[in-house]
Amino acid sequence: MLSGKNVLLGITGGIAAYKTTFLVRLLIKAGASVKIVMTQSSSSFVSPLTLSTLSKNPVLLDFVNESDGSLSWNNHVELGLWADVFLIAPATANTLSKMANGTCDNLLLATYLSAKCPVYFAPAMDLDMYKHESTKTSLDKLQSFGNIMIPAESGELASGLVGEGRMAEPENITSFIQKHLAEGLPLSGKKILITAGPTHEAIDPVRFLGNRSSGTMGFELAKKAADLGANVFLISGPTNLSMEHYGVTLISVTSAEEMYNAVHKHYSEIDIAISAAAVADYRPKLISEQKIKKQGDGLQIDLVRTKDILLSMGEQKRNQFLVGFALETENEVENAKSKLQRKNLDAIVLNSLQDKGAGFGGTTNKITFIDKNSKVKAFELKTKAEVASDIWSEIITRIHA
Protein backbone atom coordinates (compact mmCIF):
# COMPACT_ATOMS: atom_id res chain seq x y z
CA MET A 1 0.00 0.00 0.00
CA LEU A 2 2.92 2.38 0.60
CA SER A 3 4.95 1.30 -2.41
CA GLY A 4 5.57 4.35 -4.59
CA LYS A 5 3.81 6.68 -2.15
CA ASN A 6 5.21 10.02 -0.93
CA VAL A 7 5.10 10.02 2.86
CA LEU A 8 5.63 13.25 4.78
CA LEU A 9 6.61 12.53 8.39
CA GLY A 10 5.99 15.26 10.95
CA ILE A 11 7.91 14.87 14.22
CA THR A 12 7.04 16.83 17.36
CA GLY A 13 8.83 17.28 20.67
CA GLY A 14 8.20 14.17 22.74
CA ILE A 15 10.52 11.46 24.03
CA ALA A 16 8.93 9.02 21.57
CA ALA A 17 10.62 10.96 18.77
CA TYR A 18 13.62 8.66 19.14
CA LYS A 19 11.51 5.87 17.61
CA THR A 20 11.15 7.77 14.36
CA THR A 21 14.54 6.51 13.16
CA PHE A 22 13.04 3.00 13.09
CA LEU A 23 9.82 4.34 11.60
CA VAL A 24 11.63 5.99 8.68
CA ARG A 25 13.45 2.77 7.85
CA LEU A 26 10.18 0.80 7.87
CA LEU A 27 8.46 3.33 5.60
CA ILE A 28 11.32 3.17 3.11
CA LYS A 29 11.40 -0.62 3.28
CA ALA A 30 7.69 -0.56 2.40
CA GLY A 31 8.62 1.30 -0.78
CA ALA A 32 7.73 4.87 0.24
CA SER A 33 9.66 8.07 -0.47
CA VAL A 34 10.02 9.93 2.82
CA LYS A 35 10.47 13.60 3.63
CA ILE A 36 10.57 14.91 7.19
CA VAL A 37 9.48 18.13 8.83
CA MET A 38 10.28 18.61 12.53
CA THR A 39 9.44 21.09 15.25
CA GLN A 40 12.43 22.80 16.83
CA SER A 41 11.84 21.04 20.16
CA SER A 42 11.83 17.58 18.55
CA SER A 43 15.47 18.02 17.55
CA SER A 44 16.33 17.71 21.24
CA PHE A 45 15.15 14.10 21.16
CA VAL A 46 16.33 12.89 17.74
CA SER A 47 19.05 14.16 15.42
CA PRO A 48 17.95 15.81 12.15
CA LEU A 49 21.22 14.57 10.63
CA THR A 50 20.33 10.96 11.47
CA LEU A 51 16.87 11.34 9.95
CA SER A 52 18.24 13.08 6.87
CA THR A 53 20.71 10.24 6.34
CA LEU A 54 18.01 7.58 6.70
CA SER A 55 15.44 9.33 4.50
CA LYS A 56 18.00 10.57 1.93
CA ASN A 57 16.26 13.96 2.00
CA PRO A 58 17.00 17.19 3.87
CA VAL A 59 15.11 17.50 7.14
CA LEU A 60 13.12 20.75 7.47
CA LEU A 61 12.76 22.56 10.79
CA ASP A 62 11.75 26.12 9.91
CA PHE A 63 10.26 28.29 7.19
CA VAL A 64 13.68 29.70 6.30
CA ASN A 65 16.95 27.89 5.59
CA GLU A 66 20.26 29.60 6.12
CA SER A 67 23.14 28.11 4.18
CA ASP A 68 26.49 29.70 3.31
CA GLY A 69 25.08 33.10 4.15
CA SER A 70 22.15 32.76 1.74
CA LEU A 71 18.48 32.37 2.60
CA SER A 72 15.87 30.04 1.07
CA TRP A 73 12.23 29.39 1.85
CA ASN A 74 10.76 25.99 2.72
CA ASN A 75 7.47 26.01 0.85
CA HIS A 76 4.85 24.41 3.11
CA VAL A 77 2.27 24.45 0.30
CA GLU A 78 4.53 22.41 -2.00
CA LEU A 79 5.22 19.98 0.85
CA GLY A 80 1.52 19.50 1.46
CA LEU A 81 0.87 18.89 -2.24
CA TRP A 82 3.85 16.52 -2.58
CA ALA A 83 2.60 14.16 0.12
CA ASP A 84 0.32 11.20 -0.57
CA VAL A 85 0.28 10.52 3.16
CA PHE A 86 1.04 12.91 6.03
CA LEU A 87 1.98 11.13 9.25
CA ILE A 88 2.54 13.08 12.47
CA ALA A 89 4.37 10.88 14.98
CA PRO A 90 4.79 11.47 17.78
CA ALA A 91 1.90 13.91 18.11
CA THR A 92 2.23 15.67 21.47
CA ALA A 93 -0.66 17.19 23.44
CA ASN A 94 0.62 20.65 22.50
CA THR A 95 0.66 19.93 18.76
CA LEU A 96 -2.70 18.13 18.86
CA SER A 97 -4.29 21.19 20.49
CA LYS A 98 -2.78 23.51 17.88
CA MET A 99 -3.91 21.27 15.02
CA ALA A 100 -7.43 21.11 16.45
CA ASN A 101 -7.68 24.88 16.82
CA GLY A 102 -5.90 26.03 13.67
CA THR A 103 -2.87 27.53 15.40
CA CYS A 104 -0.08 27.96 12.88
CA ASP A 105 3.19 28.93 14.53
CA ASN A 106 5.70 26.54 12.91
CA LEU A 107 6.46 24.85 9.60
CA LEU A 108 4.88 21.53 10.59
CA LEU A 109 1.53 23.14 11.45
CA ALA A 110 1.55 25.30 8.31
CA THR A 111 2.14 22.15 6.25
CA TYR A 112 -0.66 20.35 8.08
CA LEU A 113 -3.09 23.14 7.23
CA SER A 114 -1.94 22.98 3.58
CA ALA A 115 -2.12 19.19 3.17
CA LYS A 116 -4.62 17.73 0.70
CA CYS A 117 -3.78 14.09 1.49
CA PRO A 118 -4.92 11.74 4.31
CA VAL A 119 -3.41 12.84 7.65
CA TYR A 120 -2.55 10.23 10.27
CA PHE A 121 -1.47 11.13 13.78
CA ALA A 122 -0.01 8.98 16.55
CA PRO A 123 -0.54 10.56 20.00
CA ALA A 124 2.29 10.26 22.52
CA MET A 125 2.24 11.69 26.05
CA ASP A 126 2.07 10.73 29.70
CA LEU A 127 -0.93 8.96 31.21
CA ASP A 128 -2.60 11.92 32.92
CA MET A 129 -2.08 14.14 29.87
CA TYR A 130 -3.64 11.49 27.62
CA LYS A 131 -6.67 11.16 29.93
CA HIS A 132 -7.17 14.93 30.30
CA GLU A 133 -10.44 16.31 28.95
CA SER A 134 -8.67 18.87 26.81
CA THR A 135 -6.70 16.09 25.08
CA LYS A 136 -9.87 14.08 24.51
CA THR A 137 -11.44 17.20 22.99
CA SER A 138 -8.47 17.62 20.63
CA LEU A 139 -8.56 13.97 19.57
CA ASP A 140 -12.30 14.04 18.88
CA LYS A 141 -12.08 17.33 17.00
CA LEU A 142 -9.21 16.18 14.79
CA GLN A 143 -11.04 12.97 13.87
CA SER A 144 -14.16 14.98 13.07
CA PHE A 145 -12.02 16.85 10.51
CA GLY A 146 -11.31 13.52 8.79
CA ASN A 147 -7.85 12.95 10.28
CA ILE A 148 -7.04 9.35 11.23
CA MET A 149 -5.80 8.57 14.73
CA ILE A 150 -3.36 5.72 15.32
CA PRO A 151 -4.30 4.88 18.93
CA ALA A 152 -1.72 5.16 21.66
CA GLU A 153 -0.64 1.94 23.29
CA SER A 154 -0.35 0.93 26.94
CA GLY A 155 2.95 0.33 28.68
CA GLU A 156 5.65 1.93 30.76
CA LEU A 157 5.84 5.69 30.21
CA ALA A 158 8.75 8.12 30.57
CA SER A 159 7.42 9.26 33.96
CA GLY A 160 7.56 5.73 35.31
CA LEU A 161 3.79 5.37 35.26
CA VAL A 162 2.23 2.45 33.41
CA GLY A 163 -0.80 2.99 31.21
CA GLU A 164 -2.07 4.51 27.97
CA GLY A 165 -0.08 7.19 26.20
CA ARG A 166 2.84 5.38 24.57
CA MET A 167 3.18 6.11 20.87
CA ALA A 168 2.28 3.05 18.84
CA GLU A 169 5.37 1.04 17.92
CA PRO A 170 6.80 1.81 14.44
CA GLU A 171 5.78 -1.63 13.12
CA ASN A 172 2.22 -1.06 14.31
CA ILE A 173 2.09 2.43 12.77
CA THR A 174 3.15 1.19 9.33
CA SER A 175 0.78 -1.78 9.60
CA PHE A 176 -2.11 0.50 10.60
CA ILE A 177 -1.55 2.80 7.63
CA GLN A 178 -1.17 -0.10 5.20
CA LYS A 179 -4.44 -1.69 6.34
CA HIS A 180 -6.29 1.63 6.34
CA LEU A 181 -5.16 2.44 2.79
CA ALA A 182 -6.32 -1.01 1.67
CA GLU A 183 -9.88 -0.49 2.89
CA GLY A 184 -12.35 -0.16 0.05
CA LEU A 185 -9.98 -1.55 -2.58
CA PRO A 186 -11.45 -4.24 -4.87
CA LEU A 187 -9.49 -7.10 -3.27
CA SER A 188 -9.45 -5.79 0.31
CA GLY A 189 -9.77 -8.68 2.76
CA LYS A 190 -9.26 -11.32 0.07
CA LYS A 191 -6.70 -14.10 0.43
CA ILE A 192 -4.98 -14.88 -2.86
CA LEU A 193 -2.72 -17.79 -3.82
CA ILE A 194 -0.52 -17.51 -6.91
CA THR A 195 2.00 -20.01 -8.22
CA ALA A 196 4.87 -18.76 -10.36
CA GLY A 197 8.08 -19.75 -12.10
CA PRO A 198 9.39 -23.17 -13.15
CA THR A 199 10.01 -26.26 -11.09
CA HIS A 200 13.35 -28.05 -11.10
CA GLU A 201 13.24 -31.83 -10.94
CA ALA A 202 16.54 -33.28 -9.77
CA ILE A 203 18.41 -35.83 -11.90
CA ASP A 204 21.48 -35.95 -9.66
CA PRO A 205 23.07 -33.48 -7.18
CA VAL A 206 24.03 -31.04 -9.98
CA ARG A 207 21.52 -31.56 -12.80
CA PHE A 208 17.79 -31.08 -13.14
CA LEU A 209 14.92 -31.02 -15.59
CA GLY A 210 13.37 -27.56 -15.94
CA ASN A 211 12.00 -24.98 -18.35
CA ARG A 212 12.53 -21.37 -19.38
CA SER A 213 9.87 -19.76 -17.18
CA SER A 214 11.21 -16.61 -15.48
CA GLY A 215 8.31 -16.26 -13.03
CA THR A 216 7.68 -12.65 -14.10
CA MET A 217 3.99 -13.10 -14.92
CA GLY A 218 3.20 -14.65 -11.55
CA PHE A 219 5.20 -12.01 -9.67
CA GLU A 220 3.39 -9.20 -11.49
CA LEU A 221 0.04 -10.81 -10.69
CA ALA A 222 1.02 -10.99 -7.02
CA LYS A 223 2.14 -7.35 -6.86
CA LYS A 224 -1.03 -6.14 -8.56
CA ALA A 225 -3.24 -8.16 -6.22
CA ALA A 226 -1.47 -6.71 -3.20
CA ASP A 227 -1.83 -3.20 -4.66
CA LEU A 228 -5.57 -3.89 -4.86
CA GLY A 229 -5.71 -4.71 -1.16
CA ALA A 230 -5.26 -8.49 -1.10
CA ASN A 231 -3.20 -10.65 1.22
CA VAL A 232 -1.15 -12.75 -1.22
CA PHE A 233 0.68 -16.05 -0.90
CA LEU A 234 3.13 -16.30 -3.80
CA ILE A 235 4.49 -19.83 -4.21
CA SER A 236 7.41 -19.68 -6.60
CA GLY A 237 9.83 -22.12 -8.09
CA PRO A 238 13.48 -21.10 -8.65
CA THR A 239 13.75 -17.59 -10.18
CA ASN A 240 16.07 -14.59 -10.09
CA LEU A 241 13.19 -12.35 -8.99
CA SER A 242 12.67 -10.88 -5.53
CA MET A 243 9.50 -9.75 -3.80
CA GLU A 244 9.41 -7.08 -1.11
CA HIS A 245 5.78 -5.99 -1.31
CA TYR A 246 4.13 -5.61 2.10
CA GLY A 247 1.06 -7.59 1.04
CA VAL A 248 2.91 -10.56 -0.48
CA THR A 249 4.27 -13.57 1.39
CA LEU A 250 6.83 -15.31 -0.82
CA ILE A 251 7.12 -19.09 -0.38
CA SER A 252 10.08 -20.50 -2.31
CA VAL A 253 10.03 -24.10 -3.54
CA THR A 254 12.07 -26.15 -5.99
CA SER A 255 10.22 -29.23 -7.18
CA ALA A 256 6.67 -29.94 -8.28
CA GLU A 257 6.16 -32.03 -5.14
CA GLU A 258 7.23 -29.11 -2.94
CA MET A 259 4.90 -26.76 -4.83
CA TYR A 260 2.02 -29.22 -4.48
CA ASN A 261 2.52 -29.40 -0.71
CA ALA A 262 2.85 -25.63 -0.33
CA VAL A 263 -0.31 -25.01 -2.37
CA HIS A 264 -2.42 -27.40 -0.33
CA LYS A 265 -1.12 -26.04 2.95
CA HIS A 266 -2.94 -22.77 2.18
CA TYR A 267 -5.57 -23.62 -0.45
CA SER A 268 -8.50 -24.26 1.91
CA GLU A 269 -8.41 -20.67 3.24
CA ILE A 270 -7.99 -19.00 -0.17
CA ASP A 271 -10.58 -16.87 -1.99
CA ILE A 272 -8.87 -16.69 -5.39
CA ALA A 273 -6.11 -18.91 -6.78
CA ILE A 274 -4.11 -18.39 -9.97
CA SER A 275 -1.86 -21.15 -11.24
CA ALA A 276 0.72 -19.28 -13.31
CA ALA A 277 3.65 -21.62 -12.62
CA ALA A 278 5.17 -23.74 -15.38
CA VAL A 279 5.19 -26.98 -13.42
CA ALA A 280 7.18 -29.90 -14.83
CA ASP A 281 4.89 -32.66 -16.11
CA TYR A 282 7.52 -35.33 -15.49
CA ARG A 283 10.35 -36.02 -13.05
CA PRO A 284 13.12 -38.65 -13.02
CA LYS A 285 11.90 -41.92 -11.53
CA LEU A 286 15.18 -42.30 -9.66
CA ILE A 287 17.50 -39.50 -8.47
CA SER A 288 21.17 -40.41 -8.41
CA GLU A 289 22.87 -39.64 -5.11
CA GLN A 290 26.14 -39.04 -6.97
CA LYS A 291 26.90 -37.03 -10.09
CA ILE A 292 26.23 -39.19 -13.13
CA LYS A 293 29.42 -39.82 -15.11
CA LYS A 294 29.70 -40.01 -18.88
CA GLN A 295 29.12 -43.55 -20.06
CA GLY A 296 29.05 -44.36 -23.75
CA ASP A 297 27.22 -42.32 -26.38
CA GLY A 298 23.85 -42.03 -24.68
CA LEU A 299 21.99 -41.76 -21.40
CA GLN A 300 18.52 -43.03 -20.64
CA ILE A 301 16.45 -41.51 -17.83
CA ASP A 302 13.12 -43.04 -16.85
CA LEU A 303 10.49 -40.38 -16.15
CA VAL A 304 7.26 -40.52 -14.17
CA ARG A 305 4.36 -38.07 -14.00
CA THR A 306 4.38 -35.37 -11.36
CA LYS A 307 1.22 -34.57 -9.40
CA ASP A 308 -1.17 -32.35 -11.35
CA ILE A 309 -1.40 -29.39 -8.98
CA LEU A 310 -4.07 -27.50 -10.89
CA LEU A 311 -6.25 -30.59 -11.30
CA SER A 312 -6.05 -31.26 -7.57
CA MET A 313 -7.06 -27.64 -6.85
CA GLY A 314 -10.07 -28.04 -9.15
CA GLU A 315 -11.08 -31.29 -7.46
CA GLN A 316 -10.86 -29.75 -3.98
CA LYS A 317 -12.44 -26.42 -4.96
CA ARG A 318 -15.24 -25.23 -2.72
CA ASN A 319 -15.79 -21.48 -2.89
CA GLN A 320 -12.46 -20.53 -4.48
CA PHE A 321 -12.31 -18.71 -7.81
CA LEU A 322 -9.72 -20.78 -9.67
CA VAL A 323 -7.73 -19.55 -12.69
CA GLY A 324 -5.26 -21.55 -14.75
CA PHE A 325 -2.82 -20.77 -17.55
CA ALA A 326 -2.53 -22.59 -20.86
CA LEU A 327 0.48 -22.30 -23.15
CA GLU A 328 -0.52 -23.69 -26.53
CA THR A 329 1.00 -24.05 -30.00
CA GLU A 330 -2.01 -25.30 -31.99
CA ASN A 331 -5.81 -25.27 -31.70
CA GLU A 332 -5.18 -22.80 -28.92
CA VAL A 333 -8.70 -21.73 -27.89
CA GLU A 334 -10.16 -25.25 -28.17
CA ASN A 335 -7.35 -26.76 -26.10
CA ALA A 336 -7.64 -24.03 -23.48
CA LYS A 337 -11.41 -24.53 -23.17
CA SER A 338 -10.87 -28.29 -22.80
CA LYS A 339 -8.33 -27.71 -20.01
CA LEU A 340 -10.73 -25.29 -18.28
CA GLN A 341 -13.47 -27.95 -18.20
CA ARG A 342 -11.26 -30.93 -17.30
CA LYS A 343 -9.69 -29.15 -14.36
CA ASN A 344 -12.87 -27.49 -13.06
CA LEU A 345 -11.60 -23.93 -13.50
CA ASP A 346 -13.52 -20.68 -13.37
CA ALA A 347 -11.29 -19.10 -16.01
CA ILE A 348 -8.15 -19.74 -17.99
CA VAL A 349 -5.50 -17.42 -19.43
CA LEU A 350 -4.31 -18.54 -22.85
CA ASN A 351 -0.82 -17.86 -24.20
CA SER A 352 0.05 -18.88 -27.74
CA LEU A 353 3.65 -19.46 -28.73
CA GLN A 354 2.54 -18.42 -32.23
CA ASP A 355 2.29 -14.82 -30.93
CA LYS A 356 5.55 -12.91 -31.04
CA GLY A 357 6.41 -11.45 -27.63
CA ALA A 358 4.26 -13.92 -25.66
CA GLY A 359 5.28 -16.80 -23.41
CA PHE A 360 8.41 -17.45 -21.36
CA GLY A 361 11.36 -15.28 -20.60
CA GLY A 362 10.29 -11.90 -21.94
CA THR A 363 8.90 -8.70 -20.45
CA THR A 364 5.73 -8.78 -22.58
CA ASN A 365 2.80 -11.12 -23.02
CA LYS A 366 -0.26 -11.50 -25.22
CA ILE A 367 -3.22 -13.27 -23.66
CA THR A 368 -6.75 -14.40 -24.24
CA PHE A 369 -8.99 -14.61 -21.16
CA ILE A 370 -11.64 -17.37 -21.25
CA ASP A 371 -14.19 -17.93 -18.49
CA LYS A 372 -16.30 -20.99 -17.62
CA ASN A 373 -19.21 -19.55 -19.61
CA SER A 374 -17.01 -19.67 -22.73
CA LYS A 375 -16.75 -15.89 -22.90
CA VAL A 376 -13.52 -15.17 -24.79
CA LYS A 377 -11.67 -11.84 -24.60
CA ALA A 378 -8.40 -11.32 -26.48
CA PHE A 379 -5.88 -8.62 -25.55
CA GLU A 380 -3.09 -6.94 -27.47
CA LEU A 381 0.60 -7.43 -26.72
CA LYS A 382 1.43 -5.59 -23.49
CA THR A 383 4.01 -5.54 -20.72
CA LYS A 384 3.47 -8.26 -18.14
CA ALA A 385 2.61 -5.63 -15.53
CA GLU A 386 -0.17 -4.37 -17.82
CA VAL A 387 -1.28 -7.94 -18.52
CA ALA A 388 -1.54 -8.55 -14.76
CA SER A 389 -3.86 -5.53 -14.49
CA ASP A 390 -6.02 -6.87 -17.33
CA ILE A 391 -6.27 -10.30 -15.72
CA TRP A 392 -7.28 -8.89 -12.36
CA SER A 393 -9.82 -6.61 -14.01
CA GLU A 394 -11.46 -9.64 -15.62
CA ILE A 395 -11.43 -11.62 -12.36
CA ILE A 396 -12.81 -8.77 -10.25
CA THR A 397 -15.62 -8.19 -12.75
CA ARG A 398 -16.68 -11.83 -12.30
CA ILE A 399 -16.35 -12.21 -8.52
CA HIS A 400 -18.34 -9.00 -7.96
CA ALA A 401 -21.01 -9.86 -10.54
Active site residues: 211
d(CA 230, CA 307): 28
Q: How far is CA 90 from the centre of its chain?
A: 25
CA distances from 44 to 86, 97, 339, 349, 376 (A): 22, 21, 66, 58, 64
Q: Which runs of consecutive H residues, i.e. helices, occur in 197-347?
A: 216-227, 256-266, 309-315, 332-342
Rg, Å, the chain Cα set: 27
Strands (E) across 173-320 are located at: 191-196, 201-202, 208-209, 231-236, 248-252, 272-275, 282-284, 303-305
> φ and ψ at 246, to 5 degrees?
-55, -40
b/e map 297-325, b = 16+ CB within 10 Å: eeeeeeeeebebbbbebbeebeebbbbbb
Q: How buried is residue 275: exposed, middle or buried, by Cβ count under 10 Å (0-12/13-18/19+)?
A: buried
d(CA 372, CA 376): 10
- Number of residues assigned to the chain: 401
Q: Is 19 helix (H, G, I), strand (E, B) or coil?
A: helix
**376-383 own/partner pairs: CB under 8 Å, 24+ apart:** 376/333, 381/355, 381/356, 381/357
Q: How far is CA 106 from the centre of its chain?
A: 35
Q: Which residues neighbour 9 within 8 Å (Cβ) at sequence distance 6 or greater?
A: 20, 23, 24, 27, 34, 35, 36, 37, 55, 87, 88, 89
